[in-house]
A and B are shown apart, each in its own frame.
Chain A
């Protein structure tokens, strides 16, 4: 893919759920373009369709109509295995409910996407450790999720999301289950990753969480009702503005953060 290709292009994306006799329209035509290196917050009330959008952008669900190009690849018409490959290599997903394997340790959870890439064991461990380190979680490597706090679990999930160096980091209410201190911590990690050039789309219903991003898209009743940049005075955001977004992915150490 060319460096200039937008990470996300959607055109008139629709999603209809066939309910009991009634078809419920969750998305009524979302058209959105996200460039490389952007940090986008999608905001909306509950029921606005933002979670549905997150699932479709993350290739966890398929749209009913419209087009979706992820990193230049049209997702429609892809087979099951190709979709799995896209989820594996191009998308890192952070869930509200973490979705870590309960019986596996932190490092095993982070390694999981690499297993399905066929990465050899030693390299897998090495890269998983690097990802854990980049979210400051190396010391939890042998803990299981039930031995960790919500904030740390979400950081392990974040490490899992970035371990494959995906084109898109997608977060669905990543702070929804966290207290405010942990939320700050996780959001700081997002900001650092974005500063390092990573493209982030974050779904949230909280205005102060959305304010940490650099661009805000507001959704209501399955349609985009607002799309504007966030002017921020925060130092992190200022630092991000100085970084060249498109070139960031070509750095030899993509997981590393500016010291």
Chain B
């Protein structure tokens, strides 16, 4: 029999068995569409979170001193802080003529404190001693009160600004502005409450307390030879690369060595902050979502195909009884399965793309192109396999055995 005849029989089969064809197409359609939509939702939340990270501080660069391990003559490894970040560095970076693309600079000293108020005590995950530009660099807004001023920095004022998590955990939700709080035993006055900022990766940005750098050195850490890091704001996102280059050049000059090249200092920009923390988590999450969706879609397709096997087997018996050869039957099913899988796949992509236009549980889905290809390939392969395999087994039966399937 000529192959064209196979196509004709298959078309006739698809057209006349509307229920079966419809269910098969539906199975593949749901498989493809669900993968596309689920991955799009995952992708959408990933992008939403990344944009929240962007809001953490626009155009942020962080200069960090790298702990360097070195081995001396086969001795045990020694940890050394080889390059200190000092006030001289901050001063050099603030020279606007040398660093035209740098908008603001803030040294950051981190410490671990226990805060006590009215018998409650609480340890925020971040406690920073810094300078007033830090608020703008890190992208914080104030809910109540105010941030500490340059005057307060210079006068070593013992004042502190707290995040929302601290407000709820330590102060029972009431505005603590004006209250006095003990930080590792030293008394600080709360002068401001930060507006909620949300979570960045694993970091709760609202679980934070900030105080003037000078007061922190006086009361908590003692005088430090090196800051924990220096945060730098580029003048605009497009100037971030230029700013990064200027920061590198300036620091190399102040330290008289190629500290960056030697790896003693490290500049993290927005992209590297995101990619190091969040992106990897989300890549894993997305892969899991895609795998589960494919499994669900595949099982759906498989069920529909298996349900129609009984009906199919009887039809195979009839066709064999009137003289269809195995290859005639296989040709017919192949064309049928390809046709149904193609229709289901294409419509499924359409439904998936359409469904991705709606907000789903508060997330705006963003279609990932790879998910479309993946969904098509897997669903169509499953559809083909479960369309062909049972049918080819039935085609190998004696006609009378196939006919007995009612």
- Interface set of A (CB-CB < 8 Å, partner B): 55, 58-62, 80-81, 84-85, 87-89, 93, 95, 99-101, 103-104, 108, 112-113, 115-118, 160, 164
Chain A residues, Cβ within 8 Å of B315: 101
Contact in complex: A60, B321 (CB < 8 Å): yes
Contacts of A99 in B (CB 8 A): 317-318, 321, 403
Assess whether B403 is in contact with A60, with CB atoms less than 8 Å apart.
yes
Q: A60-B399, A116-B328 are in contact. Are A93 and B1 (CB under 8 A)?
A: no
Interface string of B15-38 (1 = CB under 8 A from A): 011000000000000000000000
**Does A85 contact B400, Cβ atoms closer than 8 Å?**
no
A-B residue pairs in contact (CB < 8 Å), sample of 17:
A60-B399, A61-B400, A62-B398, A80-B326, A81-B326, A81-B327, A84-B323, A84-B326, A95-B403, A99-B317, A99-B321, A99-B403, A101-B315, A104-B16, A112-B318, A112-B322, A115-B9
* CB-defined contacts of A80 to chain B, threshold 8 Å: 325-326
User: Do A84 and B400 have beta carbons less than 8 Å apart?
Assistant: no
Partner of A115, one of B5, B16, B320: B5
Q: Which residues of A contact B12 (CB under 8 A)?
A: 104, 108
A146 CB to closest chain B CB (Å) equals 12
Check B1 against A55 for contact (C-beta < 8 Å). Answer: no
**A88 adjacent to B400 (CB under 8 Å):** no
CB distance from A133 to the nearest CB of B (A): 20
- Whether A113 lies near B326 (C-beta < 8 A) is no
- Whether, in the assembled complex, B135 has its beta carbon less than 8 Å from a beta carbon of chain A, the answer is no
- A101, B318: Cβ atoms closer than 8 Å: yes
Q: Which 5 A-B pairs have the closest CB atoms?
A: A88-B323, A103-B16, A60-B400, A113-B322, A60-B399
Residues of A within 8 A of B401 (CB): 61
Q: Decide if B319 is an interface residue (CB 8 Å cutoff).
A: yes
> Are A113 and B323 interface neighbours, CB within 8 A?
yes
Neighbour of B318 across the interface among A58, A100, A115, CB < 8 A: A100
Bound form: Cα–Cα A253–B36 in Å: 61
- CB atoms of A115 and B1 under 8 A apart: yes
Q: How far is the CA of A85 from the CA of B13 in the complex (A)?
A: 22
Measured between beta carbons, the chain A residues less than 8 angstroms from B1 are 115-116, 118
B398 near A88 with CB under 8 A, answer no
CB distance from B381 to the nearest CB of A (A): 27
Minimum C-beta distance from B174 to chain A (A): 74
How long is the Cα–Cα vector from A175 to B398 in the complex, in angstroms?
A: 25
Report the nearest A residue to B406, measured CB to CB. A97
Q: A159 to B361: give the CA distance in the assembly, Å.
A: 61
B2 near A85: Cβ-Cβ < 8 Å? no
Known: A61-B398, A100-B318. A116 touches B326 (CB 8 A): no
Partner of B322, one of A61, A108, A160: A160
The answer to whether B324 has its CB under 8 Å from any CB of chain A is: yes
Given A101-B315, A103-B16, A104-B12, A116–B323 Cβ distance below 8 Å?
yes
| B16 touching A84, Cβ below 8 Å | no
Bound Cα distance from A87 to B398, whole angstroms: 12
A130 to B318: give the CA distance in the assembly, Å.
22
Which of A62, A87, A108 has a CB less than 8 Å from the CB of B320? Answer: A87
Q: How far is the CA of A95 from the CA of B317 in the complex (A)?
A: 12
Shortest A147–chain B CB gap in Å is 14
**Which B residues, 327 to 343, have Cβ-Cβ distances below 8 Å to chain A?**
327-328
Q: Is the CB of B403 within 8 A of A116?
A: no
Q: Quick one: which of A62, A81, A84, A118 contacts B2, CB cutoff 8 A?
A: A118
Is there an interface contact between A89 and B323, defined as CB atoms closer than 8 Å? yes
CA gap between A99 and B322 in the complex, in Å: 10
Q: Enumerate chain B residues within 8 angstroms of A117, measured Cβ to Cβ.
A: 323
Q: Return chain A residues, CB-CB under 8 Å to B9.
A: 115
CB closest residue in chain B, given A89: B323
Give the CA-CA distance A118 to B323 in the complex, in Å: 11
**Roughly how many angstroms separate A36 CA and B310 CA in the complex, as a whole number?**
38
Distance, CA A55 to CA B318, complexed state (A): 13
| Contact partner, A81, options B16, B322, B325, Cβ 8 Å | B325
Residues in B whose Cβ lies below 8 Å from that of A164: 323
Other than the given A84-B323, A108-B12, 4 more pairs (CB < 8 A) read: A60-B403, A61-B398, A80-B326, A100-B318
CB-CB < 8 A to A84: which residues of B?
320, 323-326
- CB of B399, distance to nearest CB on chain A (Å): 4
* Interface contact A60-B323, CB-CB below 8 Å: no
User: Chain A's nearest CB lies how many Å from the CB of B252?
Assistant: 80
Q: Which residues on B sit within 8 Å (CB–CB) of A113?
A: 322-323
Map CB proximity to A onto B184-213 as digits: 1 under 8 Å, 0 otherwise: 000000000000000000000000000000
A95 to B5, CA, bound (A): 26
Cβ contact of B323, chosen from A62, A87, A103, A104, cutoff 8 A: A87
> CA separation between A80 and B326, bound complex, in Å?
8
